[in-house]
Structure formats: structure tokens, C-alpha cells
Amino acid sequence: MGQAKSKSITKLSPEVLEELEQTTHFSKKEITRWYKDFIKDCPSGQLKQEEFQQIYEQFFPSGDVSKFSSFVFNVFDTDKNHFITFAEFLSALSITSRGTVDEKLDWAFSLYDIDHDGFITREEMTAIIDAIYCMVGSAEDMPTDDNTPEKRVNRIFSQMDKDNDGRISRDEFATGAKQDSWVVKVLSLDKDDQGDCD
């Protein structure tokens, strides 16, 4: 019975393959290759949060990836069933690796908007920035005006929160990021942007 189940998910149906080709930035050949790798790593067809965290640990072995990987997992898990399907994985990968600027900004906004109310609060942004700092560890070259999550959040909010209501709307986020390359760099996960996890 285990073999029959395993065989049933080793290949994508033509309908699913066609749908993924239409909804992502990947070709059928690329989708098939990604699927083979996904199934090799997740034979059940479900990537669970613990496994997702282990992937991040490979890239950041000296940092604490638990908080940040949890936030990213929640963005990947679009149907909120506590695991990532291949379609969810490929859709997020498509956006983050090959998406348009607007798609990437929308995805990034979803990451920072933890409660999904359409706004990023200081608390939400601080939680994400703190998680990034914990993941990448400390750096000697961190500018003093960015050496804590709170300082970085204050800087971002001064750039983006144009109506000074203490939260950043989707439009403020997109406009601010598109107009300021420094803000785009700050909001992206860049191993050169490092801070303390205290």
C-alpha cells in the first residue's frame, strides 16, 4: 500500500502541470524538475514547518532561524492547513525568484503583515526585523542607526508611513519601496544586513 501511494504522487497530472505553468513563471520542464526534487525531500507531498525550518538552518547554521522561518512558512502556507503543498511552494518560489517588482512587493508585504489586516504595524515589522537579526547573527560593521530592530523599524517607518498613522498600508509600502532603493535593500533578506539577536 505504501508503494502504491508513493507512485501516485511521483508525477504531476497533465492538468496540474498545465495550471502551474499558467500561474507561475516556470516552464513545464522546470516545474517537473522542481516537483521531482520536492517529492524526493517530501515524499508525502507536504512540507511541514519543522522541515521548512531545517532548510533555513542549512543557510544560516550559526543563527536562530526559528522565528523567521515560521513567518515565511505562514506566507507560503496560503490555505493555512499547517503544511506547504508543492503548488504553494512553487507559487511562492515563482514570485520570489522570478516575479515582477509588484509581485515581489506584494509577497513581502504579506510577510510583514502578520495578522493579514492590510497594514503593517510597528510591532509586526519589529517582529520580522528581530527575527532576521536573530537569524543572521551579529556584525561588527552594523551602522549605529540600524544596530537594533527598533532603530531599523523607526527608519523604515519614517520613510514609508507618509500619513503618520503608525501603520504602513500596502500602497505606502509599494510606493516607498519603489522610490527608495535603500528601503528595498533594508526590506530584503540580505546576508550583508546583519544585527544582534539580544
Per-residue pLDDT of the chain (198 residues; tens, 9 = 90+): 333 344 446 789 999 999 999 999 999 999 999 999 999 999 999 999 999 999 999 988 888 999 999 999 999 999 999 999 999 999 999 998 888 888 888 999 999 999 999 999 999 999 999 998 888 876 445 677 777 889 889 988 998 999 999 999 999 999 988 876 655 664 554 333 334 444
Residue 11 is predicted with a pLDDT of 86
**Other CB atoms closer than 10 Å to residue 185's CB: what's the count?**
12
**Residues whose CB falls within 8 Å of the CB of residue 189, separated by 6 or more in sequence, listed in order:** 132
> Helix-strand-coil percent breakdown of the chain, rounded to 5?
65, 5, 30
For 64, counting Cβ atoms within 10 Å of its Cβ (0-12 exposed, 13-18 middle, 19+ buried), the class is middle
Please compute Rg for the chain using Cα positions.
19
Angle of helix 86-98 relative to helix 28-41, nearest 10 degrees, comes to 120
Residue 137 is predicted with a pLDDT of 73
Residue 33 sits at the vertex; the CA angle it makes with 20 and 52, to the nearest 5 degrees, is 80
Residue 2 is predicted with a pLDDT of 39
Residue 193 is predicted with a pLDDT of 39
pTM to 2 decimals? 0.82
Residue 162 is predicted with a pLDDT of 93
Residue 141 is predicted with a pLDDT of 54
Residue 124 is placed in which grid cell?
509586526
Residue 77 is predicted with a pLDDT of 97
Residues in a beta bridge with 83: 48
Residue 142 is predicted with a pLDDT of 64
